[in-house]
């Protein structure tokens, strides 16, 4: 049972500062209701530095508010970016949407 988790599939190949604002806005509007969200990055090939900063702030806001925000399926360049900036430790990143959902279900089971 997915419960109320939402999976958001990013359609853009590049997340630029302007687009990340709307992505972060969408996350911050949906997450308070859903409480659990997976952002699928499978089609995203690059993220610019301002967009990365906005995603970090959104991740920190989600954690502080007690929400679960996971990122899944990063392409090789996006995964390298997360690793080279040490943000792999800030973001909850999973190889696939299924892995991220399994992690959400495990969290749910542990908190029940």
Arithmetic mean of pLDDT, 57-68 = 95
21 pLDDT band, cuts 50/70/90, is: low
Contact (Cβ atoms closer than 8 angstroms) between residue 43 and residue 10: yes
pTM (2 d.p.)? 0.89
19 pLDDT band, cuts 50/70/90, is: low
Indicate whether 4 pLDDT > 80: no
């Amino acid at each position: 049972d997915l419960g109320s988790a939402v999976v958001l599939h990013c359609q853009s190949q590049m997340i630029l500062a302007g687009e990340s604002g709307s992505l972060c806005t969408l996350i911050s509007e949906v997450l308070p209701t859903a409480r659990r969200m997976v952002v699928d990055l499978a089609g995203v090939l690059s993220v610019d530095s301002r967009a990365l900063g906005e995603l970090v702030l959104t991740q920190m806001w989600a954690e502080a508010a007690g929400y679960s925000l996971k990122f899944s399926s990063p392409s090789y360049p996006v995964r390298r970016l997360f690793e080279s900036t040490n943000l792999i430790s800030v973001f909850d990143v999973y190889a696939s949407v299924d892995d991220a959902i399994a992690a959400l279900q495990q969290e749910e089971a542990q908190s029940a």
